[in-house]
Chain A
């Protein structure tokens, strides 16, 4: 107990209490009311932003799965040495600042960016594809951000599968496709589910990507929190939105704990 005391003190003082204060403010602070929550539930702006968040998160998470699963599968099939080397390709972007990525995508997707310049050069036509400061840009940036998380989660679950079942199926004459769809994929489903939930948690709360790569119509919940803190100084509204985000995250966390057999982080074992 004495060993965890310092961490406990820090997190109670600088994490739990601040969070409780946010909850307190969201309910009107010293004059309790549900006014802010009522506004969130009824005003079109908030519904639109919630819809944006869900849409962008679902599309990005879907794309992340479509791209991430083959990467994880490819990594798993490599001999350990080669896998370590290829893992660096996934780890690198994981450890790269999101600002570096956002900056790179503004250069790649921009009006006179790399892709548009190339297209103009290749087709000889004027004009450009709108890929930045719109939903497309946000989804690309978000997918890039989420991809390593999906790869790690799915890879971990693929690596725990023993070779016995696959070998048995192989001996019995199953084709590669059958082995994949009847054994490998079903066994990896908990990993896939965990990956989806982790990506949903992170994308729903994304702040930087929609702020830098999105347009005015692509505001997400986090951006609205910032808007209320900086522009309207409506801290109670910002707090209410934060509590909603927290609640959404909580629901997804319960999902993760279920998929992982009661453990949120794998804290035991």
Chain B
């Protein structure tokens, strides 16, 4: 078939392309600066570094406070991702598959933590946990992060569920499967990529969350972002370049993983 040249195959003008590429460069700039810097030496900020080493990474992994905060973050992120995946996944299933009164309003309520400014949520949870004497506890932190993660899980899962062919579920029901059987043997296997993607998103959101953690975490439950925040605020240290690079690689890894999962879907 002859290739048609249509207007939608247009090439944007040179000026548009220039601005767009400047935009891409601006977007990538922080990562491009941080990565080479992390392989620098010593205590000075040099860009590009004069000589390369793994000193900063060594410093990061040998400093107990960095390691401890990283472990706290991993723990909290894993737990809140699991919790929000379970709760949010069920909610998305209920919203997409069932009709009930007040559904629209309930959906908006369930998604509203995405819109309420984080600082407001942070203040509210700080005061609230203060009353419950749970400020600085790990479980308090997990619960707070779950509040932020649940809406994202619901949105991603809703999108995924809408793409699952309902007829497969109906067929299984006709063949005598219970709702639980349908859920565990038809819907969940079909949704596997979406579930993984939502879980990874929730993990990353919790792992990167800083404002709420800044308010509700204690000295012993300081998360990695909170530690980074105070380090940038008080005594910018080159080790931050190593931490930042590791975080960038984590984000990139999850990003690529999710893109691959979407292709699978």
Q: Which residues of A contact B (CB under 8 A)?
A: 1-4, 6-8, 10-11, 14-19, 21-22, 25, 67-68, 70-71, 73-75, 77, 84, 86, 88-93, 95-108, 110, 112-114, 117, 144, 147-148, 163, 166-167, 169-170, 176, 179, 201, 204-205, 207-208, 211-212, 221-222, 225-226, 229, 235, 238-239, 242, 245-246, 249, 253, 264-265, 267-268
Contacts and interface: CB of A to CB of B under 8 A. Distances in A.
A103 B115 contact: no
Contact of B154 (A7, A84, A107, A264): A7
A226 B122 CA distance: 10
Nearest to A257: B108
B207 to A, nearest CB: 8
B94 interface: yes
A245 B120 contact: yes
Contact of B108 (A2, A229, A267): A267
A205 B114 CA distance: 13
Contacts of B261: none
Contacts of A89: 24, 27-28
A212 B106 CA distance: 37
Given A11-B110, A74-B17, A99 B232 contact: yes
A18 B124 contact: yes
A243 B97 CA distance: 36
Given A167-B7, A170-B7, A4 B94 contact: yes
Contact of A7 (B20, B110, B208, B255): B110
A242 B8 contact: no
Contacts of A249: 115-117
Contacts of B11: 77
A102 B255 contact: no
B95 to A, nearest CB: 6
B29 A10 contact: no
B252 interface: yes
Nearest to B208: A97
B135 to A, nearest CB: 12
14 contacts: A1-B100, A15-B121, A22-B123, A71-B20, A74-B17, A95-B251, A104-B33, A107-B45, A144-B29, A163-B6, A166-B7, A211-B233, A238-B123, A265-B111
A7 B236 CA distance: 40
Interface residues of B, number: 89
Given A163-B8, A222-B211, A265-B111, 18 more contacts: A3-B94, A4-B94, A7-B87, A7-B150, A19-B116, A19-B120, A77-B12, A84-B259, A90-B27, A92-B27, A95-B251, A99-B232, A102-B232, A114-B33, A205-B118, A207-B211, A222-B119, A253-B115
A83 to B, nearest CB: 12
A96 B119 contact: no
Interface stretch (B52-60, B64-72, B125-133, B166-174): B125-133
A131 to B, nearest CB: 14
Contacts of A253: 115
Interface string B67-110: 00000000000000000001110110111011010001011111
Contacts of A221: 119
The 5 residue pairs across chains A and B that have the minimum distance between CB atoms: A3-B94, A205-B117, A104-B30, A74-B20, A18-B124
A71 B23 contact: yes
Most buried by B among A6, A74, A95, A246: A95
Contact of B29 (A88, A102, A108, A166): A108
Nearest to A246: B120
B20 A92 contact: no
Interface string B209-232: 011000100000000010011001
B7 A15 contact: no
Most buried by A among B86, B110, B120, B251: B120
A66 to B, nearest CB: 8
Nearest to B246: A100
B204 to A, nearest CB: 6
Contacts of A114: 33, 47
Contacts of B116: 19, 246, 249
Most buried by B among A6, A112, A117, A268: A6
A168 to B, nearest CB: 9
A107 B33 contact: yes
Given A4-B95, A104-B244, A207 B118 contact: yes
Most buried by A among B17, B45, B106, B127: B127
Contacts of A73: 12, 16, 20
Given A4-B95, A147-B26, A77 B232 contact: no
B88 A70 contact: no
